[in-house]
Structure formats: structure tokens, C-alpha cells
Amino acid sequence: MRYLLLFALIIFLFPSCLKYKEIVNFREGKGLEANQIDSIANYQQVRIQPDDILQINVFSYNIEEAARFNTVNVQMQMQAQMQGGSGASLADPIGYRVDSKGEVDMPVIGRVQLTGKTIEEAQEIVSQKIGATGYLNDHNVQVRFLSFRITVLGEVNDPGTFTIPSQKITVLEAMGMARDLTLFANRDNILVIREKDNLRYYGRLNLRSKDIFYSPYYYLQPNDIVYVEPHKAKILAAPDPASRYLSIVVGVLSAATIIFTLTR
């Protein structure tokens, strides 16, 4: 009876234990040797799509003329921020929403087609259109995304939606922003949901494999959703009614074993 109970306990507890290799990343696949150098072939530049929100600022020594092309006076914003004023802050810029035709409507130059363009290409297009007006011969155009957001859900310590100030982020950086995975995260089946050109794509990443660095989903795109599913060990460890009843049964069997042993 005692041996039968011990065997039952082992069977019950074994599935809920996480092995060391299940919580260590980059152990599987091709080796990552010291001083190894790989070319980065899976990075794709972020391109402007409909519904993106862009910040487009025009700078020039001729502040008054540059103001024609800005939805707000950027120079005054910068001056107010440097002086600690209470005016509009560059942290809360006004952006241009790309419409369904892939265009933005800017002051003076009108509608500009930007869909499918990179940030650098968009800057060049806007700059050329401004130059064609003849108002500004010396100017600088800066374009950046205001809507580059990613969402991290599931078995992470701080799930949520994060705004990315740059144009480049990896899934590992996203995990860092979410304060890393929990102990119960299933590292070999991370889901990335991506919407692009009116299509939805689903990618799977194995964080335990070194091949993750070569995946097209290693570099995230705007509005990507990363879902980290729980490991089966968490489900087995969850305090649901079934586990409570099993604990009662195990307790009864333990008591019965003790009584049986004492009465022999």
C-alpha cells in the first residue's frame, strides 16, 4: 500500500515539474559560438500603411516660412520645452493619419502619397514637394511613426501595449519591455499575429531554439501582437476544483497508510 501511494504521488507531481532545459533559451539548433558573426538577412524595413499615424515636422532657419508646412509651430514647441513652459510638448505631437488611399494631407503642399514608403523615402518625397513650392530653399524634414505599437500578452510579467520610439524592435526586446517571461511560459510556441496589406499572418517562434534569430518574425512590425501561452505545468499547478479533490484523496490515502502501518 505504501509503495502504491508513493508511486501515485510521483505520477501526480512529475508532470507539474519544469525541467531546466525547458526554461533556458537558445539551447537548441545551430551553435552560437564565441566571436561568431552572422549577416542579418531577415530584417525588413517598416513601410507606411493606411491608418498609420505619422509625425511630419519641417525645420528651417526661416521659422515663419517653415511654420506654413507644420500643423503646429515646432520651433515654438522646442523653445517652450527647453524653457520648461506649459505649452504644447513634443511628447504629445500632432500627427497625420494615412488615409485609405495611402495619402496624408499637409498644409500648402496638399495630399502626399506615402503608402509603401519607408520613413527615409517619405522624408525625401515631402522635402521635394516643399522645395517645389519655392517657399523654402533650405529646410529639413523629419518623419517618424506615432502609431508603432506592439502588444505582448500571456505569460509575461507585465503584459500590455507598448509604443516604440524607433523603427526597429525584436521579439526579445518586446519580452524585455514586458519584464520577461514568467516561469510558466511555454517558450517553444510563441505566437506572433501580424496584419499587413489587409491580410493576417500567424508566426510561431521557439525561444529555446537558436534558429529564432533567422525567423521573419524575429523583427516585429507595427501593431504586431505577441502571445506567450502557458506551459502545461501551470495548468496542472492551478488550484482548480479537480486538484483540490485530488489533494483530499491523497490525504485520505496517506492517513489510511499510516493507520494500516500502525495496526500491523
Q: How far is the CA of 133 from the CAs of 68, 125, 130, in angstroms?
A: 11, 13, 5
175 conformational bin, left if phi > 0, alpha if psi -120 to 50, beta if neither: alpha
User: How big is the CA angle at 30 (ends 28 and 33), to the nearest 5 degrees?
Assistant: 105
| Per-residue cell: 134 | 519655392
> How many CA atoms lie less than 13 Å away from 49 in the CB half-sphere?
13
Per-residue pLDDT of the chain (264 residues; tens, 9 = 90+): 555 444 454 444 444 555 545 555 455 556 556 556 666 667 788 899 898 999 999 999 888 888 888 875 554 455 544 555 444 444 445 689 999 999 999 999 999 999 999 999 999 999 999 989 888 888 999 999 988 999 999 999 999 999 988 888 999 999 999 999 998 888 888 999 998 878 899 999 998 888 888 899 999 999 999 999 987 765 555 555 555 455 556 555 665 565 556 566
pLDDT value of residue 26? 52
Name all domains of the chain by residue range, CATH numbers in brackets.
2-18+234-262 (no CATH), 20-45+148-230 (3.10.560.10), 53-145 (3.30.1950.10)
Pairing of strands 110-113, 160-163: unpaired
The residue to which cell 522635402 is assigned: 127
As beta bridge partners, residue 19 has none
Report the greatest alpha carbon distance in the chain.
105
Q: Which three cell numbers stand for residue 70?
A: 507644420
Q: Alpha helices, DSSP H only, in the chain?
A: 2-13, 63-67, 74-82, 119-133, 171-177, 232-237, 241-262
**H or E element in which residue 142 lies:** strand 140-145
Location of C-alpha cell 490515502: 253
